[in-house]
Structures are given as C-alpha cells and as structure tokens.
Structure 1
Amino acid sequence: MDGRAVAPAAGTVLNALATGTGSAFAIDAYTEATVELDAGGEVTGEITGAPDADTHLIERCVESVVERFGDGQGGHVRTESEVPMASGLKSSSAAANATVLATLDALGTADEISREDACRIGVDAARDAGVTITGAFDDASASMLGGVTVTDNTEDELLARDEVDWDVLVWTPPERSFSADADVERCKRVAPMADLVAELALDGAYGRAMTVNGLAYCAALGFPTDPLIEAMDRVAGVSLSGTGPSFTAVGDRADLEALQDDWNDREGNTWLTTTQTDGARTT
C-alpha cells in the first residue's frame, strides 16, 4: 500500500494573521511525499536532508487520512522538498498536502474526496501539530488547487480562486522564521491595511494587494522594507512572504532579472520561477 504525491510551494498576497482573511499563489517549486502503509498501526516520518526536523505534521496527516478512510493502518511517510523550511514559502502546507494525497493514493481512495476537502485534512493536521496560528487555509488552498486563492481562514472557506501567469522572483535570507512564533497581537494592529488588501485581492488587483501587504507586515514583524522599495517601480507586486524571511516579487521576466541583480547583493539566495496553476497531484 504505497502512494506518492507532490504539492507546490506558495507566496503571499495577504497574510491572514491580522483578520483571518488570507491570500496566496502557488509557485513552481515542490515538496514530494512518499507513504508506505502497513498493518502495524504506528506512523513514523522522515524529512530528507533534515534528520532532526519535527515530523509531527506529516505523521498527523497520515493518521488523519487513515482515521477517515482507512482501517487502522500505520506506516512511514518521507518528504523531500525543493522548498527551504521556515522560509515563508509555505513548506508546511506543501508537505501536508503532498502527504494527504499520497496517503489517499496508498489507500486507493484519492477519488473519494475533493481536493478542497483533502486540503482541509492537512489544515486540521497542521493545527493539531501546532505549526500554524491561522490554520493556513490560504496557503494550503493555493498549494492544493494552484493559482491564487483568497480564503476566510476562520471558517476554512474558499472565497475566490483565479489563475495567474506571472514570473516570480524569490529572495530567501539565511535566517529562518517560524510562523507559530509570530507576534500575533502586533500583527492585528495592521488590520485596517489587511482589510484594504483583501478588497484589492477580491477585485483581482493581486500585485497592488501584495505590495500593501508587504509594507504592513514588514512594519509589524520587524523586517526591512528596502527590498520592497527597490522593487516597487519595476514589478507588478512585491511582498514579504508569510511571516518571512523570504520576499517574493511578481511581474515580467526582464524586470525581475534586473531586480535580481539588486537582491543578489544581499546575503542568502535569489531564484526565478513561475506561478503554478495545476496544484498538487499524485504521481
């Protein structure tokens, strides 16, 4: 009883910490999960290249799917990712989505549940594992469904989904930032700006929404605004991604390549990719 699936990472349009409304877009970088089920009842996990990493989330994803569709199976889940952990690029959501789909694949029940509901299984598992504050349905839905999504994370409700075709520039500094450690009370003070970002996103003005979000959350979370200022007059949108430390910019390839020359002067890694509209899938 083996299954395998991949799920894309994502960037932020609107961080949901202030109001519970969030928005994210899938990017062409992936986490793969392989699940091997057995009759033992115990679930173990491993993250390739990170032997000391916490595997509670992916293990809980397997357990949750088995509780709903299985018959008490245990087994082993292994994830391998192109996405750096704790970088603001939704690595946890991608891992959860890939693990849920891989487990459904192993059970032969992948056709018995919509991708939206499969996404909700991973969101609930993330809450159980304590790796998210908001539930991250915005991040998870973008990863699972592809494109850009706008969500109400308090109700796990999908408010809108759209397909976008952007080139994407990512800058990831060397430090890490865990979303569960973010100062939620400070973030709630930017709620008026978050409401504006939500209005822009629901009107389809995703680039402008990103930029307003980036300014508000850099201020709330103590990240520099210099990467935003350098990008604003050259790209369609730029933002801090999640609770950082990564920044993402979207727009035309040539403009992003020029911006990359500036961002390359900073410590860390920059890379160019594209948006992804297909979402997660079994392989």
Structure 2
Amino acid sequence: MMNMKGTGASHGAATIVNAIAMGKGAAFGLDLRTEATVELSEGDGVSVVMDGHPGESTVLAERCVQGVLERVAEGRKYHAEVRTRSQIPISKGLKSSSAAANAIVLATLDALGQEMEPLDAVRIGTRAAVEAKVSITGAFDDACACHLGGMVITDNRSEELLVHENFPDYVRVLIHIPEFTVRKADLPRERIKAVSGLVDLAFHHALEGDRHRALTLNGLCYSTALGLDPEVQLKALMNGALAAGLSGTGPATVMVVVEDKVKEFTEAMSGYDLLEVRVRNPEGRA
C-alpha cells in the first residue's frame, strides 16, 4: 500500500472556569498554534516525534491515533508516524495537551481521507487524554475551545457543549508563565473540593455572561487551593485588567486587557515577563 499522509492543526486556550471541582467548565481560544502530521503505512504501532520536547510522554499521541483507527479504519491495521510542533508551552495551563490531541486526531482522519463532526473528533481526543492520564476530566471544555475558538461553556461529565459564542475581540490576553510546572498527579483534591462552592458561583457568572468576573473568581479559588501565589493576578487587577486568573491548574496566569490599554498595562507590570496573545474566535463568524 502507498503511505497515506495527513495534517491537522489546533490552538491553545485559557481557562474561565476550571472543571476539576464541579465537572463543568468554561474556556476561550488563544491564537497559539499546534500542528500535527500523521503518516500511515503497513504494519502496526505508533512512533511519535514532538519537535522541541524529546523527553515528553507520547502516550496521548498514541491513544489519539488508536482512537481514530478504532472508530473509522474498520479493523485495518496501520503503522503511524506522528510529528507535532507547537507554540504552546507544555504543562503551564494553556491547553497544550488538548490542542495536541485535536491536531493528531484531525491529522489521522486526514490521512485516512475521512471527515467527522467537530465534537465527535474532539471526544476522541478527550477520551485519549483520560486514558493517557494527562487529564482528570478529559478537559472537554478546553478541547472545544482549542478546536472551535471563541468562548465555550461545557458539561464535561456528559461531554455536552452548553454555550459557544465569540469572546470580545477588543481585548488582548497577557500571560505570565513561571518556569515551574504543575503536574496533574500532584493535585490536592481535598483542597479543590473545599472551594467547589465558589467555583460553582464562578460557573454561574460565566453562564450569565459575566466572563470576566468568572475568570477572576475561578483563578483566585484555584490559586488558593493549589497553594500558588495570586500576586500577579492582584497586580494585574490593580493595573486595570478586566480579568486575571490562573489558567487550568497553572502556573500560567492570564490577564484580559482592553487592546488600547496594553502598552500602559505592560509598563505598569514591567516587573513581570508577559506574553501578549490574541483571542482566537471562530473563523468567519462575526
């Protein structure tokens, strides 16, 4: 058989409400890109190259390919060569795993000449993430935001998309990314459970359209539960950010700032290295 090659892409996202506490979450798309290529040939097994990250686990990539093959390859076996490259920092809370899973699923489908409903493709990746133990809930909210762009609100337990709308495009996102990482296996479940009532309040703010308050409240809740210093969030709010909070389980902090205030804001926050990123909304959707 001839080798079959496919490509896929997805993007990063940031947390509005983290779903770990309550099983429901909200997130919005960021213009940070992840690309994958998948080449299928005779044989079986999966080999993975992650450009710039040779030491990272490849289990997620393997499970994504296997998930697609189980779904659409009708029992045929293939050897898959996967290569990914990404602008998204790994294990910082900016949804690198969700974006990688989406991109690999799409590239595998492309190699097979198959198409799939967007949310069905996302669900293959979220199940792979649980199986690979890179996510607790499957992160359906994150995966939807990465794949669809805009703001999403989801029930991760039923994998249902509750709300999908544009995030305001008159803002920029400033991100502070500490050097350390927070691995999912180390999360203090009892401490997270203790703030679940406040996280639920943040979720209801998001449902009611008050995404900025939701993001800030959620960030303060999870920073407290995880023992992370909220100083950057507070400084950002003091200097005019519309919202600021921990993304995912961190350690990255995202700050939402009106576009024409960014220069003034970054000067006021000059003690911190900040990455400026555009919001990513669905293409062709006003």
Give me the TM-score of the superposition, normalised by structure 2: 0.92
| Residue matched to 1:273 | 277
| Residue matched to 2:66 | 63
Matched, 1:99 2:123: no
| Residue matched to 2:125 | 122
Q: Give the 5 Å matches for 1:128-207.
A: 128-164=131-167, 165=169, 166-207=171-212
Matched, 1:240 2:246: yes
Q: How far, CA to CA, are the matches of 1:226 and 1:274 in structure 2?
A: 24
Give the CA deviation at 1:258. 3.0
Q: How far, CA to CA, are the matches of 2:185 and 2:30 in structure 1?
A: 22
The answer to which of 203-212 and 68-77 deviates more is 68-77
1:22 to 25, 34, 37: 25
Q: 1:213 to 1:36 in 2, by over 3 A?
A: same
Percentage of matched positions with identical amino acids: 43
Runs of at least 5 residues in structure 1 that lack an aligned partner in the other structure: none
Give me the TM-score of the superposition, normalised by structure 1: 0.93
Residues 207 and 236 of structure 1 are in contact (CA less than 8 Å); yes or no, is this contact kept in structure 2? yes
| Residue matched to 1:253 | 259
Residues 179 and 242 of structure 1 are in contact (CA less than 8 Å); yes or no, is this contact kept in structure 2? no
Q: How far, CA to CA, are the matches of 2:269 and 2:137 in structure 1?
A: 30
Q: 1:160 to 1:192 in 2, by over 3 A?
A: same
Q: How far, CA to CA, are the matches of 1:75 and 1:206 in structure 2?
A: 41
1:54 to 41, 53, 57: 57
Q: How far, CA to CA, are the matches of 1:115 and 1:18 in structure 2?
A: 26
Give the CA deviation at 1:250. 1.1
Q: How far, CA to CA, are the matches of 2:183 and 2:161 in structure 1?
A: 25
Give the CA deviation at 1:236. 1.7
SS in 1 for 2:49: strand
**Aligned amino acid, residue 219 of structure 2:** G
Q: How far, CA to CA, are the matches of 1:260 and 1:96 in structure 2?
A: 33
Q: How far, CA to CA, are the matches of 1:206 and 1:229 in structure 2?
A: 17
* Equivalenced residues, count: 275
